[in-house]
Amino acid sequence: MHDTLLLVDIQNDFLPGGALAVPEGDAVVPIANRLMPHFSHVVASQDWHPADHGSFAAHHPGTKPFDIGELDGLEQILWPTHCVQHTPGASFASGLDIARIDHVVRKGDDARIDSYSAFHDNGHRKATGLADTLHARGSRHLFVMGLAADVCVKFTVLDALAEGFVVTLITDGVRGVDMTAGDTDAAIQLMHEAGARIGTTVQLIS
Whether pLDDT at 204 is above 80? yes
Active site residue ranges: 9, 107, 152
| Cα(45)–Cα(160) distance, integer angstroms | 13
The pLDDT, as a whole number, for residue 111 is 96
| Cα(132)–Cα(139) distance, integer angstroms | 10
Whether pLDDT at 1 is above 90? no
Burial class (CB in 10 A: 0-12, 13-18, 19+), 90: buried
Domain ranges of the chain: 2-50+86-205
Q: What is the pLDDT of residues 33-82, one digit of tens each?
A: 999 999 999 999 999 999 999 999 999 999 999 999 999 999 999 999 99
The pLDDT, as a whole number, for residue 131 is 98
Q: What is the pLDDT of residues 86-136, one digit of tens each?
A: 999 999 999 999 999 999 999 999 999 999 999 999 999 999 999 999 999
- Going by pLDDT thresholds of 50, 70 and 90, the confidence category of residue 143 is very high
| Cα(149)–Cα(146) distance, integer angstroms | 7
Would you say domain 2-50+86-205 falls under CATH 3.40.50.850? yes
| Cα(170)–Cα(145) distance, integer angstroms | 5
Mean pLDDT, the chain, rounded, equals 96
